[in-house]
Structures are given as C-alpha cells and as structure tokens.
C-alpha cells in the first residue's frame, strides 16, 4: 500500500480536521522502522537522547554531531513519518548565524525534515530566518529541559502570576515567526488548551493535558524501559525493562548450563562433504540490509 509522507501541510490539515497528531521520540533505525510502521506521524530525534541513550542527568551535553548521527539513523528507518531533529543546547543560542548553520547541518547531514528548538519570543527572529531559508521549525515552550539550571529543575511552568500570558505571547511569537507546530511541555492543561485554541498551527503536548492537537512521549518511557522513572505525565504501555531483564537472565542461564546453543542452532559437517562444506554454507542471510 502506498502511503504519503507526513509533511508540515499534513499536520496543519490534521489540526483543521480535529485529527490528533501522534509524535514519539526515536534515536535509531530499528525503532524508527517500528514506530513508523505502527503509525506515528512524527519521529522526534529528541536531545532527550542525552539522558536515555547517553546516560546523562540532563540534555545539556548533547552535541550537534551526536544529533546528526542519530538523525541519520532514524532517517534510514522511517518511511512515512516526518523526522524532526532537536537543536541541542548552545547550537543556536549564541547567534542567528550559528543557528542557521547548525539547523542546516541537521537537514543536510542528518536527513531531517524539520528542526525543533526550545524557547519562545526570544528566538522569533531565528525562527523567521530558518523558515526563510526553507527549514521548517517546531517550537518548544513551557518546561524546556535545556534551561534545567535556569528553571531550578524539571518543574511545571506557567503557574506563576502572568504565566498564562507569557506562554501565550511566546506561542503567538513563534507562530508569527513561521513555526509550523509547537511542543507544549509541563504546563497546566488549562493554559495548553487556551494556547491550542489561540493558534492556527498544531500544538503537541507532553505533560500538558488532553487539549493539545497532538501528544509526544519519549519512547523509552512509553515502553517502560526504566522501572524507576514514572513521572505523572507518562503512560507506560509496556514493562520492557522487566521483560528484557527476564529474557537476558534466561540467556545467561542457558549459556552457563550449556542449554544454548542446541544442535538445531549449530552447524554440522556432513560426513561426505567434510572438506567442502565449511566454505559454502552461509551463516545467515542479511537480505541485503546489513553490510
């Protein structure tokens, strides 16, 4: 079946029709293929990879090179989904030129279809220049993890007096600058619904309630890879951390006891071909996908 690729126009039309948009993070080709086949509209190569892949406490150490590496892998795995690459910390904050160059690298070298950057009105001019250069931009306001130290931790944003107006102003500034969608992270549901109603571009929520045009989750959280991490806004659809540990424990036991590999999982020489067989028995077929 031929399915058309998701573009910024697809997402706008989805908002207009009231169809909810599904976004998930992806960091490699195998996950990208699975999430794409399962129907995710957008694959976000989030700088959350700094935490879930690299094991850092924050997203701050992630580099442009890291992002390009993972974006390229995701681009190889996906067919239909739009691929959005996160602009990492300090890849766009120092100057507009720096932002243009690094966003261009995510598109040219990483194979992304769009970039995402954190922050509101203060980045409106950069967004305008990126869009002018043909680079679609997804905004990201509310809890912006790159400002971890400025925010004093991963905290819900917008509850203070004037918080609703500040977030609305940021969202409007991004829309006016040409952003095609905005992630709303860690803000009260009422504010997220107000922003969604005020904009003609889609909002994608994470910890922002059901009133957004779409939702995003970190795929490792959705799959329950880390049993010690269960913030309120995450719904776990699997307990893969537990299941992976159980599967690997079985493997370890089987290797130790000699139950793996069995004869059926091993190769034997046929008595009459002892000399020739080793040379022409393929160990496995790659189907042209590896190597």
Query: What residues from 213 to 242 belong to the interface with ligand KIV (CB under 6 A)?
Result: 216, 218
Q: Which of 6, 21, 25, 167 binds ligand KIV (CB under 6 A)?
A: 25
Which of 16, 185, 238, 272 is the catalytic position? 185
Q: Residues 89, 93, 99, CA angle at the centre, nearest 5°?
A: 95
Closest CB to ligand KIV: residue number: 46
Q: Which of 36, 66, 86, 170 binds ligand KIV (CB under 6 A)?
A: 86
Let me know: does 49 contact 66? Beta carbons within 8 Å.
yes
Contacts of 12 (CB under 8 A, 6+ apart): 180, 200, 201, 202
Q: Is there binding between residue 183 and ligand KIV (CB under 6 A)?
A: yes
Q: Is there binding between residue 88 and ligand KIV (CB under 6 A)?
A: no
For tokens 């880390």, the residue is 226
Question: Given the complex with ligand KIV, which of 153 and 258 has the nearer CB atom?
Answer: 153
Q: Is there binding between residue 22 and ligand KIV (CB under 6 A)?
A: no
- Name the minimum Å distance from CB 49 to ligand KIV: 7
DSSP 5: P
Q: Is there binding between residue 41 and ligand KIV (CB under 6 A)?
A: no
Measure Cα distances from 260 to 251, 257, 268 in Å.
8, 8, 16
Beta bridge partner(s), residue 140 = 119, 183
Q: Which of 36, 41, 47, 66 binds ligand KIV (CB under 6 A)?
A: 47
Question: Given the complex with ligand KIV, which of 47 and 280 has the nearer CB atom?
Answer: 47
Q: Which of 206, 208, 212, 225 binds ligand KIV (CB under 6 A)?
A: 206
CA–CA separation, 231 vs 51, rounded Å?
15
Of the candidate spans 11-19, 44-52, 89-97, 270-278, the one that interacts with ligand KIV by CB under 6 A turns out to be 44-52
CA–CA separation, 88 vs 45, rounded Å?
11
Let me know: does 82 contact 57? Beta carbons within 8 Å.
no
**How far does the chain reach from its first CA to its final CA, in angstroms?**
28
Backbone conformation region of residue 282, classed left if phi is above 0, alpha if psi is from -120 to 50, else beta? beta
**Is 175 designated active site?**
no
Q: How many CB atoms lie within 10 A of CB 272?
A: 8
Q: Is there binding between residue 35 and ligand KIV (CB under 6 A)?
A: no
Q: How many CB atoms lie within 10 A of CB 122?
A: 10
Site string for ligand KIV, 99-138 (x = CB under 6 A): ----------------------------------------
Of the candidate spans 40-48, 105-113, 122-130, 271-279, the one that interacts with ligand KIV by CB under 6 A turns out to be 40-48
Let me know: does 107 contact 135? Beta carbons within 8 Å.
yes
Q: Is there binding between residue 174 and ligand KIV (CB under 6 A)?
A: no
Of the candidate spans 26-34, 41-49, 103-111, 186-194, the one that interacts with ligand KIV by CB under 6 A turns out to be 41-49
For tokens 């690459």, the residue is 85
In the complex, the residues that contact ligand KIV under the rule CB under 6 A are 25, 44, 46-48, 86, 183, 185, 206, 216, 218
Catalytic residue IDs: 185
């Amino acid at each position: 079946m031929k399915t058309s690729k998701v573009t910024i126009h697809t997402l706008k039309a989805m908002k207009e029709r009231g169809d909810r948009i599904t976004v998930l993070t992806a960091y490699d080709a195998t996950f990208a293929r699975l999430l794409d086949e399962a129907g995710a509209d957008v694959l976000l190569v989030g700088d959350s990879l700094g935490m879930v892949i690299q094991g850092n406490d924050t997203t701050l150490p992630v580099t442009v090179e890291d992002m390009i590496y993972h974006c390229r892998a995701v681009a190889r795995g996906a067919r239909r989904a739009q691929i959005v690459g996160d602009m990492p910390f300090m890849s766009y904050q120092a100057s507009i030129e720096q932002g243009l160059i690094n966003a261009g690298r995510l598109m040219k070298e990483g194979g992304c279809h769009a970039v995402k950057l954190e922050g509101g009105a203060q980045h409106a001019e950069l967004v305008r220049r990126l869009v002018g250069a043909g680079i679609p931009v997804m905004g990201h306001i509310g809890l912006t993890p790159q400002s971890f130290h400025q925010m004093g931790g991963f905290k819900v944003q917008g509850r203070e007096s004037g918080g609703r107006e500040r977030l609305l102003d940021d969202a409007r500034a991004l829309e006016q600058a040409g952003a095609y969608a905005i992630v709303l992270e860690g803000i009260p549901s009422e504010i997220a619904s107000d922003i969604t109603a005020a904009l003609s571009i889609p909002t994608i929520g994470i910890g922002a309630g059901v009133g957004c045009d779409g939702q995003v989750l970190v795929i490792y959280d959705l799959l329950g890879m880390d049993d010690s991490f269960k913030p309120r806004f995450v719904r776990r659809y699997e307990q893969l951390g537990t299941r992976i540990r159980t599967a690997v424990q079985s493997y370890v036991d089987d290797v130790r006891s000699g139950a793996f590999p069995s004869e059926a999982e091993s190769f034997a020489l046929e008595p009459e071909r002892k000399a020739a067989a080793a040379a022409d028995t393929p160990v496995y077929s790659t189907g042209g996908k590896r190597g």
